[in-house]
Amino acid sequence: MNYTQNEKILQITNETLIIGVDIASETHYARAFDLRGIELGKLLRFTNDAEGFNIMRAWIKELSIRHEKKHVMVGMEPTGHYWFNFAQYLKNHCMQIVLVNPFHVKRSKELDDNNPTKNDRKDPKTIAMLLKDGRYMVPYIPEGVYSELRTAMQTRWQIVKQLNATRNRVKRWLSIYFPEFTTVFASWEGRAALIALNEFATPAKVLQKDVDGIVASWKKAKIRAVGRKRATLLVYAAQTSVGVIEGLKAAENDLLMLLEDYEMKKQQHERVLALVEQLACQIPGMQEILKIKGVGLITAAGFMAEVGDITRFDHPKQLQKLAGLSLKENSSGKHKGKTTISKRGRKRLRALLFQGILPLVAKNEEFMKLHQYYTTRVENPLKKKQSLILLCCKLIRIFFALLTKQVAYDPQKMMSDIRRPVMAVA
């Protein structure tokens, strides 16, 4: 899985046909080269559909026979989602698929003509030359339960993003038309607050409803946590409100639409979470991960969705690099630059690990003690954020061990970083 550049170069021989493809939404462009970078055919323009893919396949077959090439390597930029169908077609027809970094393409396109021009004829050659020099990566296309889980988690991520947008719009509405509402209810998402927003959202409607009417609405919905005291506070807030009073009819309609969207997104989120739980339980070792105090379903399932089949990795450091948590340093001569994380890799995996480590440090005794040790040790104490990043890497190693070795989580092994210095002194 983890090829060095030498190993990548050695995969390309005199019998390799190198194809560079510039991916677009409707029309792709391809050029073919040999090991020495000599072009073997004319530029091919083909459409992003079955007919175009078949034309491209026939073109490759004809070039392979004419130039006696037995192996085909097709490289492309991962441009949005447009390369998914093409990559699946190549995989189904046993052609090797590799990807090049768009940043590398941008930086190296001037090597041939010393011109920053970007066009459909130039880019396929730039991509092919990167392949020739071993500057490519082999993509991982998840299969089976890992593919299902990745899609489900992506759906959840989109729903959460839309849900947060809706929440912010409701907060904005309240700050304009009824800013005192938040002094009565700690959260507008509670049952009593939602009933109020659906039935009497504006100060005028609250005053029209009065205390008895408000209490009756809550009793009708069988809510016992609030009563006359809360209703009295709401009426007083309406009497002293400084909210905007113009355009209320349209504003109420806007709020009702937001609340409908909120309820729909909540139901969708619950449905996709049920699917995520069902899929995650099919992965060996997942139950052991969920037994760790502080690790929830979202952290565990999100980790597997981003990583995929963990058996393709030989060492947890590869996962650390995939998450962009490997260290980088800018040094020259006597100058030693600041050491930071690379932030290269899957940003969702990095964000998920960081968000997942916070409840672990708060609830899990082992992680809590390690965090305290890293930030207060005598030699090389870390800042709080540095300690959290280090614990993210430790969490990766724990997940890797549980999933690959099928063993149970051992809290005692977690404390080895603290015990080791004491043992060394003794």
Long-range contacts of 133-137, Cβ-Cβ distance < 8 Å, separation of 24 or more: 133/9, 134/5, 134/6, 134/8, 134/9, 134/11, 134/12, 135/5, 135/8, 135/100, 135/101, 135/104, 136/8, 136/75, 136/98, 136/99, 136/100, 137/98, 137/99, 137/100, 137/101
What's the pLDDT at 109? 81
Domain spanning 5-132, CATH architecture: 2-Layer Sandwich (3.30)
CATH code 1.10.287.4070 for 147-277: yes
Q: Which region, left, alpha or beta, applies to residue 68 given φ > 0 means left and ψ of -120 to 50 means alpha? A: left
Query: What are the extents of the domains in the chain?
Result: 5-132, 147-277, 286-328+341-425
Q: pLDDT per residue over 274-283, tens digit each?
A: 999 999 999 9
Contacts of 273 (CB under 8 A, 6+ apart): 156, 297
Whether 5-132 shares its CATH topology with 147-277 is answered no
Query: Residue 43, Cβ neighbours under 10 Å: how many?
Result: 14
Average pLDDT for 312-341: 84
In angstroms, the CA 184 to CA 190 distance is: 12
What's the pLDDT at 115? 79
What is the overall mean pLDDT for the chain?
91
N residues, the chain: 426
Q: Above 70 in pLDDT, residue 333? A: no
Lowest mean pLDDT among 167-181, 210-224, 228-242: 210-224
Instruction: Name the token pair of 21.
Output: 């493809």
Q: pLDDT per residue over 228-251, tens digit each?
A: 999 999 999 999 999 999 999 999
Q: What percent of the chain has pLDDT over 90?
A: 77
Q: Whole-model pTM?
A: 0.85
Q: Above 60 in pLDDT, residue 148? A: yes
Question: Residue 5 — pLDDT band, cuts 50, 70, 90?
Answer: confident
